[in-house]
Amino acid sequence: MKIQVATIFPEMFSGLDIGILGKAQQKGLIEVNAVNIRDYTTDKHHKTDDTPFGGGAGMVMTPQPLHDTINALDPEHKVRRIYMSPKGKTLNQSMVERLAKEQSLLLVCGSYEGIDERIIELDIDEEVSIGDYVLTGGELPAMVLINAVSRYVEGVLGSSESTSEESFSDGLLEYPQYTRPKSFCGLDVPDVLLSGNHKDIKEWRYRKQLEITKERRPDLYYALFPDSDPLTENKKKGKNKSAKKDGKE
């Protein structure tokens, strides 16, 4: 998968050269190319921002350098173009899975008070937020998106790190994990996990998923089980029920 990024801070993306994503880039499974918007400005002082029409605090990124960067990177608009913005749709796992199916993405990072609205109208397919808080720019959100999407690219994760049994893959939060030693600071690993009984382990894990999701994310829990609560009314039926995916994009 090829991911191009338009940013005024391309050096920030060297953070993706380490760990799992670093390896994936070395293997050619993903390619991340961060391009400096400033290289495309026609302003003699290399400016990429200006004061907002109508007044107000902060600076707004001017349209020309953004427009030229985006259209140099994707001249025929063949690539899904995403503007990272707190006003966008909030990123969730189903959105990640959808975006991971694209061959190529172009992520546009704004800074300051945002970008000129005409760029969104002219050049952007979709605005994506990573949560209800405001950061100083779209670079960290773009890296979050790249990280989340890359995990779905074939070969990036080893089979032991697969995406199929983790939080959100079935719409529920993940069950707790334990490893050696069996006892640590007076806390023991639950007996069932040492029992070797795979059916009991599966049931215990599913129940933990239900309990944790109900407690921490009742929004997810009641969206999955609108009519009956598998932890109370419906214990037997709910036990092995495979939960639906979070399709709430």
Q: Where are the beta strands (DSSP E) in the chain?
A: 2-7, 31-36, 49-50, 60-61, 80-90, 104-109, 126-129, 183-184, 187-188
On whether the CB atoms of residues 81 and 106 are closer than 8 A, the answer is yes
Q: What is the smallest separation between the CB atom of 5 and ligand ADE, expressed in angstroms?
A: 13
Is residue 119 a contact point for ligand ADE (CB under 6 A)?
A: no
Q: Spell out, one character per residue from 64 to 93, where the chain touches ligand ADE: x when CB under 6 A holds, - when not.
A: --------------------xxx-------
Q: What are phi and psi of 127, to 5 degrees?
A: -105, 135
Q: Looking at residues 123 to 142 of the shown chain, list those that interact with ligand ADE (rule: CB under 6 A).
A: 129-131, 133-135, 138, 141
Q: What is the smallest separation between the CB atom of 44 and ligand ADE, expressed in angstroms?
A: 29
Could you tell me how many residues of this chain bind ligand ADE (CB under 6 A)? Answer: 11
Please name the amino acid found at residue 62.
Answer: T
Which CB, 81 or 214, lies closer to ligand ADE?
81
Q: What is the smallest separation between the CB atom of 243 and ligand ADE, expressed in angstroms?
A: 28
Whole-number Å distance between alpha carbons of 50 and 23: 39
Binding site for ligand ADE (CB under 6 A): 84-86, 129-131, 133-135, 138, 141
